[in-house]
Amino acid sequence: VVPAAAAQDLAGLEVAVSVGGTREHLDPVRFLGNSSSGRMGWALARAARLRGAQVHAVVGHTDVAGPPAVEVERVGSTAELATAMTRAAKTADVVVMAAAPADFTPRGSSETKIKKSGDAGLSVELVQTPDVLRGLVEARQDPDQVIVGFAAETAVDQAQLVDLGRAKLARKGCDLLVLNAVGHGLVFGQEDNEITVLSRDDDGATLVDGPYAGSKDVLAHRILDRALTHRRRDTV
Ligand code: CTP
Ligand code: CA
């Protein structure tokens, strides 16, 4: 079912991919997290490796094990993910932000376990984490490097999904944006998925590819196909 896996069309290329969710600590034993399983990120790492790429995975919290022959760097918070991905992206030909970074982090994390105080509740002030993807786009040195972002959106239909995606693609400045519709128990933690890939041509027009349904492994190959097409657009 994965014919592209036979082709070594990523041989000689370096792929940096972020996987899973990040955790923002309130104290040594508590954190804010999300329900990302890491399956899509791992599927991309596996697909890229099968096609001959050297793969560096920056991995937050995941529910499942990763593929063999992939270099793994573990991270906790979004700030740690930002540092690791920025370093990995320096030499990468393809950069994929498949992780679900926490958008907010406590303003201050306690060094000691937070204790209850009488019957009082607890208020926590949250501040925004760095936008890793936008940072990678801004720091890009190699004009041939392809940067891929993801967006999970709640949309009523495909047209609204694409509209939301267009706005996010413009805001992030990445080359490809992989969109999926969420809500109603869709996507997170599931084996199968449906994606639409947005990209921009050199005139700034948005190309819409999909929707494609399938296993995350099959979709990972589709995404890498699109990344390669984008990379080669000047030479074909
Ligand atoms: N992302 C990132 N750094 C963050 C948050 C998100 O790099 N602090 C990346 C994700 O890995 C994904 C893309 O940005 O590739 C879009 O993530 P998404 O959560 O859809 O977008 P946000 O910019 O966080 O906006 P919002 O959640 O408000 O829709
Ligand atoms: Ca977000």
* Per-residue pLDDT tens listing for the chain (236 residues): 455 546 899 999 999 999 999 999 999 999 999 999 999 999 999 999 999 999 999 999 999 999 999 999 999 999 999 999 999 999 999 999 999 999 999 999 999 999 999 999 999 999 999 999 999 999 999 999 999 999 999 999 999 999 999 999 999 999 999 999 886 555 556 667 899 999 988 888 899 999 999 999 999 999 999 999 999 886 65
Residue with tokens 């997290």: 33
206-215 and 192-200 beta bridge pairing:
antiparallel
CA of 232 to the centre of ligand 1 (A): 26
Residue 85's alpha-carbon distances to 82, 214, 216, in angstroms, are 5, 28, 22
Q: Which ligand is nearest to the CA of 150?
A: 1
Q: Does the Cβ of 129 fall within 6 Å of ligand 1?
A: yes
Contacts of 91 (CB under 8 A, 6+ apart): 14
pLDDT of residue 182: 80
Give, as residue ranges, everything with CB less than 5 Å from ion ligand 2.
Answer: 103
60-117 pLDDT, tens digit each: 999 999 999 999 999 999 999 999 999 999 999 999 999 999 999 999 999 999 999 9
Are 113 and 28 in contact by the 8 Å Cβ rule? The answer is yes
